Amino acid sequence: MANPYFTSNPQFARSGGGVQLGESSYASQQVGVDQFNQVEQSYYGPSATGAQTGRMTLDDVIMKSALTIGTVVLVAIGAWMLVPPAVFMPVMLTGLLVGFVLGLVNAFKKVPSPGLILGYAIAEGVFLGTISKVFGMVYSGAVMQAIVATFVTFAVCLLLYKSRLVKVNARFTRIVVLATIAYAVFCLVNLAVMFFAPGAFGEFGLRSGLLGIGIGLIAVVLASMNLMLDFEFISQGVRNGVDRRYAWSAAFGLTVTLVWLYIEFLRLAAIFAGRD
């Protein structure tokens, strides 16, 4: 009786009851030729694509980033149009806190979660939509200026990175990381000032007036440098052939930086509008 595995496997089963003894020599030669052809094809044939190997490609990053950033924009538009002024503050704070928590969770997760990343995008959309509405009501033209400035800065940073006019190397990375940590500490100090001494320095705390403009410009430059750092990390991931699921991590990183950049431009536009 034949082995059930071999008879049921198409690689071994043959019509007509199998290979006859007189045909065994010819069959062995044919198998050898087939194996040689397979090896030759795998060596000289076209390279496997990222989708075939499960590796991250630039297209993966673009698609995931478009989905994540698009979610932020669509939810922000919805919040702008649907949230009534009476609940602006609680909705804004809810979006801010939920986005902050999900941002930390996503930042420290070893394996990206598309659901959590899209949840972050939704929360940030709610926050950006409501805060933009408030700023738009108080400071005429500030929102549109911030949107245009964000897109222009993104394009300029991408051009600088692709042209290698700005070299993103180890030294550049150290400077950006240390400067970002220092800026985060300053933001915490400024929040404490605004909470414990509201109005002592202005409506934006230490970020009011000429000092606020100077710090805002520094923050924009720092956010732009982080954006170029994001581009470099994405390029390294593609070159190193990381798992394609990490395209979600790349999309998350780009979204965080662009949200930060927009907020900085919005604050700057408000300061300038307030000085008119």
Q: What is the pLDDT of residues 21-59, one digit of tens each?
A: 344 444 445 545 455 455 445 444 444 444 556 889 999
Q: With a cut of 70, which residues of the chain have pLDDT below it?
A: 1-53, 197-205, 274-276
- pLDDT for res 270: 87
- pLDDT for res 254: 95
Q: Which CA distances in Å does 92 have to 52, 57, 131, 238?
A: 43, 36, 6, 36
- pLDDT for res 160: 92
- pLDDT for res 3: 36
- pLDDT for res 152: 96
What's the length of the chain? Answer: 276
- pLDDT for res 48: 47
User: CB-hemisphere CA count at 13 Å for 31?
Assistant: 9
pTM: 0.78
Burial (CB count <10 Å: 0-12, 13-18, 19+), residue 49:
exposed
- pLDDT for res 209: 75
- pLDDT for res 274: 67
- pLDDT for res 189: 87
Beta strands in the chain (DSSP E): none
Query: Tens digit of pLDDT for each residue in 170-201?
Result: 999 999 999 999 999 988 888 887 777 666 66
Tokens at 6, concatenated? 């071999």
